[in-house]
Structure 1
Amino acid sequence: MNGGHHVVWAAQPRTEPRAQRPEEAGRGPQHPGASVSVCAAGASRGSTGGGRYDPTDSAASAASSWNGHIALTHSCLGSSPRLPGAVRGCATLDFGSDFLDAVLGAEGFFMPLDPLYAGIRDYRVTTGFTPLYTMSVDRARVADRETEAEIWDWVKEPEEVFDFDIDGPAGPLTLRAYRPQRENDDPLPVVVYFFGGGWVVGSLDTCEAICRAVASLTPCVVVSVGYRLAPEHPFPAAIDDCYAAVRWVGEHASELGADPARIAVAGDSSGGNLAAVMALMARDKGGPTVSAQVLVYPPTRNDATTRSMSDNVDPMFFNAKSSAWFWEHYLADPADGESPYASPAKAADHSGLPPALLLTAEYCPLYDEGEEYAKMLSRADVPVEFHPHKDLPHGFLQLSAVLETSRNAMRLIADFLRRRLG
């Protein structure tokens, strides 16, 4: 691999199937012959209702596709944190194929989540969680706002947070600046941050906790961009707004107490896509100079057919259907997805881009895209630090208030920014 010496892999890329036996993942004792009793009336695949699921039987994998109800025996479940408390022991569940595919891997083994996320999943199953992709756009935006992260008390508060408008491509564009507490007036590096939400939901408020933490931990000035949302404003509205903001920061950083020679772009989820695109646009359009890019579980192509996309169908979390729903709203014409400014993985050339930190989550449909993009950058001699996060779904940064793994990811981001921005 060209430029292989530039890439830092925090862990070996996963080569085993994501569906792991409980003992392989350190989740309790082995259960030889663990069974799933299929008792769906009118079952039409593999065996008759009430038949035993044998993990060694190739036909038995049909159990994960039945739209009936399955009885999970106690010998199979043990104390797996993956399943709702109500089904530990023996219970009958009425769920569709998405649920069954999510609970059972391709070989019928459990896919363990971090215990905190397992509890979240329990709660969602019990209370009847509704995925955003089943809602109208307006309702999805309300639901997204209701789940935004609270401001975290484990980091120092910024000295100042304020909104201001600049001239955007379609009128006033609102930016939000975060200036950290500091001991002197020396200019600080600046990070332009793009919120996540599939280009459809999200706002300056939904990334507030992350921006405050980045400003405090690095320390740096953070400028968050209130870009226009699809489907009212489809591609390329968001990238036009974001690039206008990056250019403004390049020209006016000193007005915020920041150094225009030390600019980074960053974002999570679709915001990670936008950050990757801003690095490309700044290179292609003559500036400003971007010194680092932070891409947290980013979508990098509109037509991904990866294993992680097909594996991650759990409706309790961001999944393959979520990804498709957001792309459909973002692109007014599917052909727009061929643009590298929509799908940065489709850029013909990734050379000359700034050093990248790329974080992914094991149970995220975008995992493979993230790993692929890290390899693309490395082949183009771009320094890359790739950090996969085990046992976590998409969006885990939002739980930094209570999950130490997420806090460590925030510290990792701050450390990368300090090293790259000085």
Structure 2
Amino acid sequence: MKTHLPIDEDMKELLDKIGARMAELKHPPLSDLSAEQSRYFYKEARTFFQKIEMNDMMIYNEKIESADHQIPVRIYQPASAEMLPVLVFMHGGGWVFGDLDSADSMCRYLAKHANCLIVSVGYRLAPEHPFPAALMDVLAVSEWAPQNISKWNGDPAQLAIGGESSGANLAAAAVHWLKDQGKQAFTMQCLLTPVLNHNFYTESYQSGYSFNLTKEKMEWFWNHYLSNQEQGKNPYASPLLAINSADLPPAMIVTVEYDPLRDEGKQYAEKLENSGVPVTYLYYEQLVHSFPNMIGQVNRADLAMIDLTNQLKILLRKNF
């Protein structure tokens, strides 16, 4: 068994501050909270993350029509004289938390440093809208993007998809769905600390990590996302279970040391590689889940984001 380095001290200090605030608010056990109640504590915790501002960037809020509802998207357009590669991006939050605002700093950062157009997707949340509602929203945006993105200087021939955590799950599921339907719109996928399997028995799940994301939290998230446990075997919920992973877009997969999701991310990278899919696998020690949200406060998170964004910038252009 691998010996792990201690968690980054700056990161631990930040998490301790958040933990102290949750104690001050008398945060009850997650199992005692409804989804709506828990969103209050999520938003309060996020106030400890530094807001990132980027100059030389235009921001547009749009609505995409889909069946009986509208899907909000936020478009981040860096200043550029050239057509830009596009990344359709889904926020994290266990399918229960998060919105366009919670992903705002990360999207600004990625747009600026990877020099790409970002389309951030405000997909519907569980349990009000359980599986596969969020995925259907992502697929609707996937259909909309190639036809409309040139309006914001995005190149429809350079279209990637990605996300963080549960958002990465939706990105991975979308490329499987589109491949199975013969409608693949994307030529690259970027999966940051992805959720990939409804299974809690990997070594990283069993390690008892208590930093930010825990096994218990993931079980709670899955229980809100799925209408029943049998849905967890559906490869569009658990992309790691897909029978055929060949002919998927090249992938960049990011995992970190102190994350219950670490092992399934590595397993997925290996599965794609074994299926002939080009994979760039990045692993960062001493970091925890949601580290991209800690840029500007945790030096090791800053370094990891610089590295992965440099790699993303290259891959966005290499794969087209």
Same fold (TM over 0.5): yes
Question: 1:285 aligns to what?
Answer: 181
Cα separation, 2, equivalents of 1:191 and 1:150: 23
The letter of the residue matching 2:275 is A
- Whose Rg is larger? 1
Equivalent-residue separation in structure 1 for 2:142 and 2:270 (angstroms): 26
Q: Name the residue aligned to 2:207.
A: 311
Contact 2:287 2:300 in 1 (8 A): no
Alpha-carbon offset, residue 287 of structure 1: 2.7
The match for 2:88 is 192
- 1:380 aligned to 275, 299, 302, which one? 275
Distance (whole Å) between structure 2 residues aligned to residue 221 and residue 131 of structure 1: 40
**Separation of aligned partners in 1, 2:233 and 2:178:** 19
- The equivalent of 1:333 in structure 2 is 228
For residues 132-191 of structure 1, give each alpha carbon's deviation from its aligned partner in whole angstroms, at most 9, with x where no partner exists. Answer: 7343211221222223344325xx335211211111243111111000122x1x211110
How far does residue 126 in structure 1 lie from its aligned partner after superposition? 4.7
Q: Which of residues 48, 52, 56 in structure 2 aligns to 1:152?
A: 52
Shift of 1:415: 2.3
CA distance in 1, matches of 2:67, 2:3: 46
Is contact 2:56-2:78 (8 Å) kept?
yes
1:261 is matched with 157
Q: Deviations over 1:33-55 (max 9, x none)?
A: xxxxxxxxxxxxxxxxxxxxxxx
Deviates more, 1:118-127 or 1:265-274: 118-127
Correspondence for 1:16? 2
1:251 offset after TM fit, Å? Answer: 1.7
Partner of 2:285: 390
Deviation, structure 1 residue 381: 0.9
Are residue 162 (structure 1) and residue 57 (structure 2) matched?
no
Q: Which residue number corresponds to residue 411 of structure 1?
A: 306
Q: 1:123 to 1:403 in 2, by over 3 A?
A: closer
Superposed, which structure 2 residues align to 1:209-288 within 5 Å? 209-288=105-184
Aligned residue type for 2:51: I
The match for 1:113 is 7
Secondary structure at the counterpart of residue 147 of structure 1: helix
Give the Cα separation in 1 of the matches to 2:50 and 2:60. 18
Deviation at 1:417, TM superposition (A): 2.9
- Given that 1:169 and 1:240 are in contact with CA atoms closer than 8 Å, whether structure 2 keeps it comes out as no
The 1:404/1:249 distance shift into structure 2, 3 A limit, reads same
- The answer as to whether partners of 2:209 and 2:259 remain within 8 angstroms in 1 is no
Residues 172-215 of structure 1, C-alpha deviations (whole Å, 9 max, x = no match): 11111000122x1x211110000000000111110100000111
Question: Are 2:59 and 2:77, in contact at CA under 8 Å, matched by a contact in 1?
Answer: yes
DSSP-derived class of the 1:401 partner: coil
Structure 1 pair 336–259 and aligned structure 2 pair: CA distance change class (3 A)? same
Instruction: Say which structure is richer in helix.
Output: 2
Higher RCO, 1 vs 2 (CA within 8 Å, ≥6 residues apart): 2
> 1:171 — aligned with what?
69
- Relative distance call for 1:219 and 1:167 in structure 2 (3 A) is same
Q: CA deviation at 1:406?
A: 1.8
Q: CA separation of 1:224/1:310 partners in 2, compared to 1, >3 Å: closer, same or farther?
A: same
When structure 1 is superposed on structure 2, of 161-170 and 322-331 the one drifting more is 161-170
* Residue 395 of structure 1: how far off its partner (Å): 0.9
Select between 266-275 and 130-139 the one with higher mean Cα deviation: 130-139
How far off its partner does 1:123 sit? 3.3
Query: What is the letter of the counterpart of residue 378 of structure 1?
Result: E
Match of 1:133 in 2: 30
CA distance in 1, matches of 2:15, 2:199: 28
RMSD: 1.8
Other-structure match for 1:85: none
3-state SS of 2:292 partner: helix
1:288 Cα offset (Å): 4.2
Structure 1 stretch 251-260 or stretch 321-330: which is displaced more? 251-260
Q: CA deviation at 1:127?
A: 5.0
What letter is aligned with 2:264?
A: E
The 8 Å contact of residues 168 and 194 in structure 2, kept in 1 or not, is answered as yes
Is the 8 Å Cα contact of residues 273 and 300 (structure 1) preserved in structure 2? yes
Q: Which runs of 5+ in 1 are unaligned?
A: 1-14, 19-24, 26-111
- Note the residue ranges of structure 2 that are not aligned, 5 or more in a row: none
For this pair of structures, how many residues does the alignment match? 311
Q: Are the equivalent residues in 1 in contact too, given 2:50–2:295 (CA < 8 A)?
A: no
User: In the TM superposition, what is the alpha-carbon distance from 1:131 to its structure 2 partner?
Assistant: 7.3
- Residues 22 and 41, structure 2, Cα contact 8 Å, conserved in 1: no
Distance 2:186 2:16 in 1: 42
Secondary structure of 1:408's match? helix
